[in-house]
């Protein structure tokens, strides 16, 4: 189940304002109130928001399924990356997606193929894949920073027993020397295990992550098989194949 451009706009407005009435959303999006209510129902069913009397608000950290706000950032770039990466997907593959929002944008393209088995540690990605009819395994564990991403010892054990044909993953930062890094130790370690077991590894990275460096080093871009960017980065020192 994907979300429409209007639903993305609704999410952006809710992220900015916290709570908005149906009438205000209708006014800001030039859409009927009945259509807005249907949009809000869909977003609530996907665990992005909470419906309230007369409107909606973003789920907060004290609620069961808080929104990973990264899902709504740089959506144009992430869609472009997913479209490029589609050429790497084949019928019958065992595919692993990490917990990143970028990897989650691949779900509509994965769903076009037959006999796919999908593994992911992101609950939102798993729900979307299930709604698309993809055979999905959600890697269990403990919520990372009150998000939909799971990690911890249970996740590590499960990952060590899975050998996917292809892994699609992202991270927080990529510097000009090709070092991939992330601020979250649990996610970083889980990605290391994923990389060890994957037959082929594909790094997904939008330009907002270029020229950054974060606390925990994951790998060099030269350690992965393919990198997929939304734009060309000529200054990057990389030997791997880049799409």
DSSP string, 115-175: S-EEEESBHHHHHHHHHTT-EEEEPP-EESTTSSBEESHHHHHHHHT---SEEEE--SEE-
Q: What average pLDDT score do residues 215-237 get?
A: 92
Report in angstroms the alpha-carbon separations of 158 from 10, 99, 115, 129, 145: 36, 15, 22, 19, 20
Phi, psi of 163 (to 5 degrees): -125, 85
Residue 45's pLDDT is 66
Which percentage of the chain shows pLDDT scores above 90?
54
Q: How many CB atoms lie within 10 A of CB 38?
A: 13
Query: Closest Cα to residue 219, out of 241, 238, 199?
Result: 238
Across the chain, mean pLDDT equals: 87
Q: What average pLDDT score do residues 159-164 get?
A: 94
What secondary structure letter does DSSP report for 215? S
Say how far apart CA 81 and CA 65 lie, in whole Å.
27
Report whether pLDDT(115) > 90: yes
**Higher local confidence (pLDDT), 99 or 71:** 99
Using pLDDT thresholds of 50, 70 and 90, give the confidence band for residue 72: low
Using pLDDT thresholds of 50, 70 and 90, give the confidence band for residue 126: very high
Say how far apart CA 169 and CA 203 lie, in whole Å.
5
Query: Closest Cα to residue 193, out of 238, 163, 235?
Result: 163
Q: Which of 112-116, 125-129, 159-163, 222-226 has the least mean pLDDT?
A: 125-129
Residue 119's pLDDT is 97
Q: How many CB atoms lie within 10 A of CB 99?
A: 31
Using pLDDT thresholds of 50, 70 and 90, give the confidence band for residue 62: very low
Report whether pLDDT(64) > 70: no
- Residue whose entry in the numeric block shows the structure tokens 């979307």: 128
**Higher local confidence (pLDDT), 74 or 100:** 100
Say how far apart CA 205 and CA 181 lie, in whole Å.
12
Report in angstroms the alpha-carbon separations of 151 from 96, 145, 154, 193: 15, 10, 7, 11
Counting Cβ atoms within 10 Å, is residue 98 exposed (0-12), middle (13-18) or buried (19+)? buried
Look at residue 146 and give its three-state secondary structure.
Answer: coil
Tell whether pTM > 0.85: no
**What structural domains and CATH numbers belong to the chain?**
5-60 (1.10.10.10), 75-242 (3.40.50.10470)
Q: What average pLDDT score do residues 27-37 get?
A: 91
């Amino acid at each position: 189940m994907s979300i429409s451009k209007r639903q993305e706009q609704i999410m952006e407005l809710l992220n900015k304002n916290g709570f908005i009435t149906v009438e205000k959303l209708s006014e800001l999006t030039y859409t009927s109130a009945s259509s807005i209510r249907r949009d809000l129902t869909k977003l609530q069913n996907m665990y992005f928001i909470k419906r309230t009397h007369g409107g909606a608000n973003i789920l907060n950290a004290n609620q069961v399924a808080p929104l990973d706000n990264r899902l709504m950032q740089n959506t144009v770039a992430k869609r472009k990356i997913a479209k490029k990466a589609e050429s790497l997907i084949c019928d019958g593959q065992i595919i692993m997606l990490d917990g990143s929002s970028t990897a989650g944008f691949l779900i509509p393209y994965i769903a076009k193929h037959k006999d796919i088995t999908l593994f992911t540690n992101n609950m939102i990605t798993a729900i979307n894949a299930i709604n698309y009819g993809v055979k999905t395994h959600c890697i269990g564990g403990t919520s990372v920073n009150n998000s939909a991403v799971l990690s911890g010892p249970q996740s590590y054990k499960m990952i060590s027993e899975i050998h996917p044909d292809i892994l699609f993953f992202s991270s927080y930062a990529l510097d000009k020397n090709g070092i991939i890094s992330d601020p979250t130790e649990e996610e970083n370690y889980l990605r290391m295990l994923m990389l060890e077991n994957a037959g082929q590894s594909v790094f997904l990275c939008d330009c907002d992550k270029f020229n950054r460096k974060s606390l925990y080093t994951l790998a060099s871009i030269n350690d992965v098989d393919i990198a997929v960017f939304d734009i060309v980065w000529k200054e990057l020192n990389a030997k791997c194949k880049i799409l």
